Amino acid sequence: MDIRIFQKGFNYAQDGTGNRLVMHLQGCNMHCPWCSNPEGMPLNGVLLTEKEWLDESCCPKGAVKDGVLDRGICASCPEKPCINRYRQKGIRLSCQEYSIEELLQECEAAKPLFFEGGGVTLTGGEISVQFEAVKELLQRLGACGIHRAIECNGSHPQMEALIPHVEQWIMDVKHYDEEKHKAWTGASNQWTLRNLERVTQAHPDVLIRVPLIPGFNDSREDADGFARLFREKIRGSSTSNTKVEFLLYHEYGRGKWAQCGRAYEMGPGRTAPGTREYFEEKMAEWGIPCIRT
């Protein structure tokens, strides 16, 4: 079984404990307009352009004119010689396929670097878009004695099946309100909320992440909404096993949207000063522990 990955590399303690090999899996079932990895959304990958190298020589079909790629022409070009035959730097496909064996070998070789409780983190995109392959990779990493973390949006109906194969579970919860969630991400939050309850009751180490997005989920009313949600959904868990982290909005992905040929539709803005502190205080009132990583 193969896995499509759009980015791989090490980071320290950002997506799980210690030093970790973090694999970003291609494909997502949501399309959040603030996404910092828009190249990870389409399961089949997307053509990314590099402005300084993009010229007519990149495409034998005349799809590049005046430094702009006409993606309408690409849509009817299944053989894609620009990436399959030509050596050029102006256009590349966002992802590559790896067999599970290849990934396991890479992880085995990286074992000496997994210090301070480190290991492998699978993130996205959304990992559950490649659910069966992810499950197999996690099982086999476990058999190799490698510490496993996942970061997911919690929306897969069979997410629970991964619980025995993951040491650290990181899950994004973007909104407590289904209509708002659908309007902004294109997907319902119902499975995420169900999984939130199930996973926090069954898994010993869960981090819930909420990105604070201006105009979407960062009002005082929203702080109350999240507090009610977490109070209700994680009530059966030992509070020591579940923590919440509020993340500040940033525009790191803006340039990548352009590389994907898409408009970045978020207006200028940032999480207002004091917002994160307000949310954290609100959670504390309800006995919900918060951390910052």
Q: Closest CB to ligand SF4 among 98 and 184?
A: 184
Tell me how far, at minimum, the Cβ of 152 lies from ligand SF4, in Å. Answer: 9
Tell me how far, at minimum, the Cβ of 214 lies from ligand SF4, in Å. Answer: 15
Tell me how far, at minimum, the Cβ of 151 lies from ligand SF4, in Å. Answer: 9
**Where are any strands of DSSP class E within 26-140?**
47-49, 64-65, 68-69, 91-93, 96-99, 119-123
Whether the upstream peptide bond of residue 125 has omega within 30° of 0, thus cis, is: yes
Q: Closest CB to ligand SF4 among 82 and 120?
A: 82
* Cβ atoms of residues 148 and 141 within 8 Å: yes
Task: Dig out the tokens for 54 from the structure.
Answer: 């993009």
The CA-based angle 257-260-264, given to 5 degrees, is 25
Q: Closest CB to ligand SF4 among 126 and 146?
A: 126
Tell me how far, at minimum, the Cβ of 104 lies from ligand SF4, in Å. Answer: 25
* Interacting residues of 38 by C-beta distance below 8 A, sequence separation 6+: 46, 253, 256, 257, 260, 262
d(CA 56, CA 88): 11
d(CA 122, CA 162): 12
Q: Closest CB to ligand SF4 among 61 and 111?
A: 61
Q: Phi and psi at residue 122, in whole multiples of 5°?
A: -105, 125
Tell me how far, at minimum, the Cβ of 236 lies from ligand SF4, in Å. Answer: 26
Q: Closest CB to ligand SF4 among 31 and 254?
A: 31
Q: Closest CB to ligand SF4 among 118 and 125?
A: 125
What residue ranges bind ligand SF4 (CB under 6 A)? 28, 30-32, 35, 37, 40-41, 59-61, 63, 73-74, 77, 80-82, 91, 124-126, 153, 185
* Cβ atoms of residues 33 and 191 within 8 Å: no
Task: Dig out the tokens for 116 from the structure.
Answer: 């301070």
Residue 65 identity: K
Q: Closest CB to ligand SF4 among 59 and 103?
A: 59
Q: Closest CB to ligand SF4 among 81 and 255?
A: 81
The CA-based angle 139-137-168, given to 5 degrees, is 65
Tell me how far, at minimum, the Cβ of 114 lies from ligand SF4, in Å. Answer: 25
d(CA 167, CA 61): 49
Return the sign of the alpha-carbon dihedral for residues 181, 291, 9, 261. Answer: positive
